[in-house]
Structure 1
Amino acid sequence: MFKKTAQVLSLMTFLAVAACVTVNIYFPAAQVEKAAENIVDDIYGTDAQQPAKTSKDSSSLAHFLAFMTPCEANAQGVTESDIEGLKQSNSAIRGLKQTIATDHQQLIPYYESGNIGINKSGLVELRNNDGMDIAATAKVRRLIAQDNKTREKLYEEVAASMNIPGSEIQKVVTIFTEVWQKKAPAGWWIQDGAGNWKKK
């Protein structure tokens, strides 16, 4: 009897550990993609040429939390005590998104001329300085550096808001990269995974 009880307890312990492992390796790819699509849509504008739309929360994170099932919530590690932190994250994301949108409006002419493109890391990259003098080149370099720094912070904030560990931040970057490039208008330059540039 004692032996059987011990076996049952061992099995329960194993299942509990397995469940924890499952929770730890869960990555909310669909939620990250939805957030990325909403953020990129707002920054590009409906026709990718207009200023970003303004909204109270277009990052979709509030919707993500509202519609999560209990299992998904547990997998994410989201508890009531996390809600305030998530609200702060949403506010930070909105601020970062607006900064990128402001920079984006200044960068549009350089996307259209082919001077800059979206690289394989989801960042803006100077491809050439054709038609630009020294002052214009310096200005674009400053804008690119500022924009990329903000993008990196955005990726980190989105990951933090969904309790995604730092070790998996590259998955967030990959999803955002795909969305930036997919939603870029025709005529812009994008870089594939092998480092080759092509015009959409």
Structure 2
Amino acid sequence: MRKLVALFAVLMLTALVGCVTINVYFPEAAAQKAADQFIGSVIDQGAQAAPAPKNGASSGMESKPAEGGPSASVIDLLIPAAYAAGSTPDLRIHTPAIDAIHARMSKRFRESLKSLLDEGAIGFTQDGLVAVRSLSAAPLAQRAGVKSTVAAENKDRNQLYTAIAKANGHPEWASQVRETFAQLWIQRAHAGWYYQNSAGVWKRK
């Protein structure tokens, strides 16, 4: 009898899922949180971002199935929690590739990027990159390497946005990840740093 009840429940769930719209959408709130965490740790000169969940740790709420009911794995298979309507998934920003990018960007920020931003030689762009604003504003000892520093930084940033989208199983999110990060780079900018507005005009924070 119990097996019949469980089978009936599974059949009902299957029918219900057929009527449910599964929304695979870009989690803007989660992206903003992830961008703020990543950017904050870079600007804080290499401070470690919040640790990734330990092996075996769950990122969501769990519940035991009621006795005699379908198992949680069946429900998860039918309605993936991350994509069910109304869910708020986290954005994954910890992979070996992303952590390596983070380390390079943090090191570069400490060694050269911060001073170039402080002097107004470079600034943040509207597409999540950095650009040379005034080469003459750079400290004399750094002028020769400004363009190569900017190129290296932008290479890492471009890789970062693509890597985050892929790490979350949606490569098509790369442009939205970039847009979210672009906004947060500017929001996180220190007073006196430069950024470009939507018209490409340099503004000082």
Structure whose CA Rg is larger: 2
Q: Is 1:175 matched with 2:180? A: yes
Mark the CA change 1:98 to 1:133 in structure 2 (over 3 Å): closer, same or farther. Answer: closer
Instruction: Name stretches of at least 5 consecutive residues in structure 2 with no aligned partner.
Output: 1-14, 63-75, 85-91
Q: Find the aligned partners of 2:116 and 2:169 in 1 and give their Cα distance.
A: 36
Mark the CA change 1:54 to 1:35 in structure 2 (over 3 Å): closer, same or farther. Answer: same
User: Could you say which structure has the higher helix fraction?
Assistant: 1
TM-score normalized by the length of structure 2: 0.69
Mark the CA change 1:120 to 1:56 in structure 2 (over 3 Å): closer, same or farther. Answer: closer
SS, match of residue 53 in structure 1: coil
Root mean square deviation, CA, Å: 3.1
Give the match for residue 33 of structure 1.
32
Q: Could you list the per-position Cα deviations for residues 142-173 of structure 1 after superposition, in whole angstroms to 9, with x for gaps in the alignment?
A: 1110111011111111111222232x321111
Query: Displacement of 1:17 after TM fit?
Result: 8.3
- Match for 1:141 among 124, 147, 156? 147
Sequence identity (%): 27
Instruction: Name stretches of at least 5 consecutive residues in structure 1 with no aligned partner.
Output: 1-11, 46-50, 77-85
Give the match for residue 196 of structure 2.
191
Q: Does the Cα contact within 8 Å between 1:57 and 1:94 map onto a contact in 2?
A: no
Mark the CA change 1:188 to 1:75 in structure 2 (over 3 Å): closer, same or farther. Answer: same
1:14-163 correspondence runs (5 A)? 16=18, 19-20=21-22, 22-23=23-24, 26-45=25-44, 51-54=45-48, 57=51, 66-67=59-60, 73-75=81-83, 90-105=95-110, 106-132=112-138, 136-163=142-169
Q: Does the Cα contact within 8 Å between 1:155 and 1:173 map onto a contact in 2?
A: yes
Q: Could you list the per-position Cα deviations for residues 69-90 of structure 1 after superposition, in whole angstroms to 9, with x for gaps in the alignment?
A: 86673418xxxxxxxxx79x52
Mark the CA change 1:52 to 1:133 in structure 2 (over 3 Å): closer, same or farther. Answer: closer
Q: Does the Cα contact within 8 Å between 1:57 and 1:90 map onto a contact in 2?
A: no
Query: Displacement of 1:95 after TM fit?
Result: 1.2
Which amino acid in the other structure matches residue 115 of structure 1? A
Mark the CA change 1:115 to 1:28 in structure 2 (over 3 Å): closer, same or farther. Answer: same
Q: Find the aligned partners of 2:150 and 2:96 in 1 and give their Cα distance.
A: 23
Q: Does the Cα contact within 8 Å between 1:43 and 1:53 map onto a contact in 2?
A: yes
Q: Does the Cα contact within 8 Å between 2:37 and 2:49 map onto a contact in 1?
A: no
Q: Find the aligned partners of 1:185 and 1:102 in 2 and give their Cα distance.
A: 18
TM-score normalized by the length of structure 1: 0.70
Query: Displacement of 1:138 after TM fit?
Result: 3.2
Which amino acid in the other structure matches residue 73 of structure 1? A
Which amino acid in the other structure matches residue 120 of structure 1? Q
Query: Displacement of 1:39 after TM fit?
Result: 0.4
Q: Does the Cα contact within 8 Å between 2:31 and 2:177 map onto a contact in 1?
A: yes
Query: Displacement of 1:136 after TM fit?
Result: 3.5
Aligned length: 165
SS, match of residue 136 in structure 2: coil
Q: Does the Cα contact within 8 Å between 2:119 and 2:138 map onto a contact in 1?
A: no
Q: Find the aligned partners of 1:138 and 1:16 in 2 and give their Cα distance.
A: 62
Query: Displacement of 1:134 after TM fit?
Result: 8.5
